[in-house]
Amino acid sequence: MVLAPEITLPIIIGGALIDSINPCVIGVLLLMITILVKAKKRNNILKIGAVYVAGVYFTYLLGGLTLLHIFNAVREVQFLSQVLYGVIGTFVLLAGFLEVKDFFWYGHWFSLAIPARFVRHVERNVHRTHASLWGAFMFGVLVTLVELPCTGAPYLAVLALMSQIDFSIALIYLLLYNLVFVVPLIAIIYLAYTGTGLKKMELWRREHRGKMRLAVGLFLLALGTWIISIIYFSIIHYVIAVELLILAAMFVLWKSGWHREGHD
């Protein structure tokens, strides 16, 4: 059996917060609230918003429980467990580099973003959210599934670590993780209800989206390195050296003028 790093409360809270500040998550919520306000449904913002967040929470929770059961089953076979951690660690590292890349060149080349066709689908269906509470709930489910390319890496890494502890404790951690994940969404809904300008929030999101990506990326690089060190500790120094070289190369290219291409 592979012994993974012990999961701790700071990792749970930190991972959830990093996961929740993703520009994709905030952007879709602001779109939904904008539609409600334009439809003169401001009084429904709290009600519709709460149901939408519930849809996000329960979908994320159900997905986490499913993966947790799969990881627990695989963990019983040592070889498969080693492969699992190797694949997850590598994926998390790659996701981290892509997130850091978006700090320097946002949206260029390949990014962990919602596919354009799904964005159009979300924009078409967001108008239905104020029609019923069920519609708002299902929209939360849809958005959660669509956002997985943006939000999946931190969750996957944390779930892999959760699989190493007692299931009853892991379940409590999972409930807490998802609660922390939706706290920023609840805060944005409340701010919109109290009259805080949506344009200001969207401008803030656009202004800081690169920094949010950087925070996510650095967290993923640290977590991916930690996971890989459990299986391939003898080469971890080389892994860290390669990571630092890649980050340094990104910075040098950005300083040389490539950053102008990333903000068109």
Q: Tens-of-pLDDT digits for all 264 residues of the chain?
A: 445 457 788 888 888 887 887 666 666 667 666 666 655 566 677 788 888 889 889 999 999 999 998 888 887 777 777 788 888 888 888 888 888 887 777 766 666 666 666 666 666 666 555 557 777 788 788 778 877 767 778 888 888 888 878 888 889 999 999 999 888 888 888 877 776 666 666 676 667 677 777 888 888 888 888 778 777 777 778 878 888 888 887 777 777 776 554 443
Structure confidence at residue 175 (pLDDT): 94
Residue 216 main-chain phi, psi, to 5 deg: -60, -45
* Whole-number pLDDT of residue 76: 74
The DSSP output letter for 257 is: T
Give residue 173's pLDDT: 92
pTM of the full structure: 0.78
For residue 163, give the 3-state DSSP assignment: coil
Asked whether 186 and 194 are in contact (CB, 8 A), the reply is no
Compute the Cα dihedral for 212, 213, 218, 222 and give only its sign.
positive
Note the pLDDT of residue 66. Answer: 92
CB contact set of 107 (below 8 Å; sequence gap of 6+):
113, 262
- The pLDDT, as a whole number, for residue 9 is 85
How far apart (Å, rounded) are the C-alpha atoms in residues 78 and 83?
Answer: 9
Please report the pLDDT score of residue 261 as a whole number: 47
